[in-house]
Structure 1
Amino acid sequence: MIGYLRGQVVRSTGDQAVVETGGVGYLVSVPATAREKVCRVGATVELHIHTQVREDQLALFGFTTPAELELFEMLIQVDGVGPKAGLAILSAAGLETLKRAILAGDANPVRRASGVGPRTAQKVIIDLRPKLEAESALAALPAPAASGDGEVAAQVEAALRGLGFGAPEAKQGLKAIDWSANPTAQEALTRALQALGRER
């Protein structure tokens, strides 16, 4: 699987570019946010790649930041949103605008994407809002001085309380986590939210 490309743009048309590296040209689809960088033939670009593998096709989707790639991969996990629609959603709104809209429950920026109807747009909000809320809650916490179950548990409990769960619910969420797997704070919080019914 290709996860990253650094090379020279040898051809660019609309939302696709051919990036040459090591004597091989890779055809990469990119969102509007990346087009300014990849539309200049001869420019050197760095792209974080999502590889889609099908029986008859291997398709590459490129993003200028890991955060864009991460949100794209979250989008295509939503039922009814394929890579083409995910790219269109990111292109229509942009990373930060899209994140703010999802957190606010505003489906309009999602609906502006070509080929995305109101039902799919609402599903994007319903599916991704809890995940972005969890990310925001974790980001707001100070980083622990050292890693370990105690510090991660404290982070997760604080994040759950910040999301509106009471102390008993937060404790219940903590009990659902498999601490023997040494989860990160994000993994532990995701598991706790699943146990509490906040994730699909």
Structure 2
Amino acid sequence: MFYYLNGTVAEVQPNLAVIDCGGVGYACATTGHTLSGLKKGEKAKLYTHFHVAENAFGLYGFGSPAELGSFKLLIGVSGVGPKAALAILSVSTPETLAMSVITGDEKALTAAPGIGKKIAQRIILELKDKMSKESAANGFALGTGGAAVSADFTSKTMEAAAALSVLGYSSAETAAAMKGVDTQSLPLEEIIRACLKKMAR
């Protein structure tokens, strides 16, 4: 329905930002990370998702396409609603969420209010399954530890590619983003962050 809102920040409240676009104020539920980058009276652009449920609907806004992509992936996990997804993304960035899935780090997810161990395990299981399918479709396989194995690419490069696939990016987008990134010496999280910055341009 809406792809993004580009206007002036009219209000900033806990978990909520109001963006004035041409005299109409759009209330967007959002994350702590996005709110930290907003200031009342200044221009802002939020990438949005209009969520429709059986008895409710809501508009959600995010400071980057990667954060929006992470939100959509999380609400696609059985038992994870928008409120839980926002809680997770208020304590995890898109790159740390991807790292949590790759490494099976339940504690990083349960740090979010209202997220218990069972939900954290389900998120890791379902997103890792999605990552494995994406990896297989792109011609490489995941090892038991989550590391991708390939004769042509380093394990770290493949793990970064798998993490980006979890965030919804295609193999072509990932390959283009990795050009010029020092995948040999940078830590895995920095590789993912560098790619996300390039794809957000």
TM-score range relative to shorter protein:
0.5 to 0.7
Residues 71 and 89 in structure 2, CA contact (< 8 A), matched pair in contact too: yes
* Distance (Å, rounded) in 1 between the aligned partners of 2:56 and 2:26: 13
- Could you tell me how far 1:132 is from its partner in structure 2? 3.6
Maintained 8 Å contact 2:132/2:141: no
Alpha-carbon distance in 1 for matches of 2:55, 2:118: 30
The 8 Å contact of residues 110 and 116 in structure 1, kept in 2 or not, is answered as yes
Structure 2: how far apart are the matches of 1:63 and 1:116?
21
Q: How far apart in 1 are the matches of 2:138 and 2:89?
A: 32
Question: Which runs of 5 or more residues in structure 2 are unaligned?
Answer: 151-168, 172-201
Which residue of structure 2 lines up, in the alignment, with residue 100 of structure 1? 99
Unaligned runs of 5+ in 1: 139-155, 166-183, 187-200
What TM-score do the two structures reach when normalised by structure 2? 0.66
Q: Deviations over 1:145-191 (max 9, x none)?
A: xxxxxxxxxxx4533488569xxxxxxxxxxxxxxxxxx966xxxxx
Kept in 2: contact 1:134–1:159 (CA 8 A): no
Number of aligned positions between the proteins = 150
Q: Does 1:31 align with 2:11?
A: no
Q: Deviations over 1:55-94 (max 9, x none)?
A: 6543111111111111110100111100000010111122
Higher relative contact order (CA 8 A, sep 6+): 2
**Alpha-carbon distance, 1:6 to partner:** 0.5
Higher-Rg member (1/2): 1
Q: Which residue of the partner structure matches residue 110 of structure 1?
A: 109
Query: TM-score if structure 1 supplies the norm length?
Result: 0.67
Of all paired residues, the percent bearing the same amino acid is: 36
Tell me the C-alpha RMSD between the 2 structures: 2.7
Q: Is the 8 A contact 1:3 1:51 kept in 2?
A: no
